[in-house]
Chain A
Amino acid sequence: SQKIEQNSEALNIQEGKTATLTCNYTNYSPAYLQWYRQDPGRGPVFLLLIRENEKEKRKERLKVTFDTTLKQSLFHITASQPADSATYLCALASGGYNKLIFGAGTRLAVHP
């Protein structure tokens, strides 16, 4: 069955450093992959989308890579700030783009 894995352990980093989160998937060839941010008590908010034919996508301090050979996406936040502390979810297109399959998310804590 299709499976998405994100590191379940929280990632703790120092302010100003680069945070790198990993999303791995199996038994799947998604046309695109999305990243969402979720704050406590709130719904996920879309951040970035990267297609299978794109190696890298950037938006301000955010960068996403997509390696279809390794079946992996990396999500980077450069010059991290305490306000970046949240849970980050990856999601893959499924069912001919009709649905998304979400990973369980990785919690990021940026310390001053």
Chain B
Amino acid sequence: DADVTQTPRNRITKTGKRIMLECSQTKGHDRMYWYRQDPGLGLRLIYYSFDVKDINKGEISDGYSVSRQAQAKFSLSLESAIPNQTALYFCATSDFSGDKNIQYFGAGTRLSVL
């Protein structure tokens, strides 16, 4: 089984709908991240969490919210989806051992907002 699991893998929704993307990990890492990837723009950080009680905004947090339900679970919500949120979304974890911050990614969720 994958160490970092994202669900769903694909999602099509309509403008104005609320949706949630889920991420769970079995790596035992404290740190979890949500990124979006757009062609030509690379990975951009939406939110990150260093433990259950610590949530931080990233570069592009507007229009998104997150919840860290447990050490192993970190979900991303779009309260009212809009077409420019169509993108590939990735969850990642890291254990920050030795200050390396090596990140382990899930397989991604492809989201289309119509």
Chain A residues engaging chain B, CB cutoff 8 angstroms: 4, 8, 31-32, 34, 41-46, 49, 89, 93, 97-100, 102-105
In the bound complex, what is the Cα–Cα distance between A49 and B48 (angstroms)? 21
- In the complex, which range does the number of interface residues on chain B fall in? 20 to 34
Q: Other CB < 8 Å A-B pairs besides A44-B90, A102-B44, 20 of them?
A: A4-B42, A8-B40, A34-B102, A41-B108, A42-B107, A43-B105, A45-B105, A46-B103, A49-B100, A49-B102, A89-B43, A93-B101, A97-B99, A98-B101, A99-B33, A99-B45, A100-B103, A104-B40, A104-B42, A105-B42
Nearest B residue (CB) for A34: B102
State the Cβ distance, B89 to closest chain A Cβ, in Å: 10
State the Cβ distance, B42 to closest chain A Cβ, in Å: 4
In the bound complex, what is the Cα–Cα distance between A99 and B45 (angstroms)? 8
Contact B42 A41 (CB under 8 A): no
In the bound complex, what is the Cα–Cα distance between A42 and B6 (angstroms)? 11
Chain B residues with Cβ below 8 Å from A99 are 33, 45, 48, 58, 101
Contact A46 B104 (CB under 8 A): yes
Chain B, residues 20-43, CB within 8 Å of chain A (1/0): the string is: 000000000000010100001111
Chain B residues with Cβ below 8 Å from A4 are 42
Chain A residues with Cβ below 8 Å from B105 are 43-45
Instruction: Name the contact of A102 in the complex, choosing from B43, B50, B99, B100 (C-beta under 8 A).
Output: B43
State the Cβ distance, B109 to closest chain A Cβ, in Å: 10
In the bound complex, what is the Cα–Cα distance between A4 and B40 (angstroms)? 12
Chain B, residues 32-66, CB within 8 Å of chain A (1/0): the string is: 01010000111111001010000000100000000
- Could you give 28 example pairs across A and B, Cβ below 8 Å? A32-B100, A34-B102, A43-B4, A43-B90, A43-B105, A43-B106, A43-B107, A43-B108, A44-B43, A44-B103, A46-B103, A46-B104, A49-B100, A49-B102, A89-B42, A93-B101, A97-B96, A98-B101, A99-B48, A99-B101, A100-B45, A102-B35, A102-B42, A102-B44, A104-B40, A104-B41, A104-B42, A105-B42
Chain A residues with Cβ below 8 Å from B90 are 43-44
Q: Which residue, A4, A43, A89, has most C-beta atoms of chain B within 10 A?
A: A43
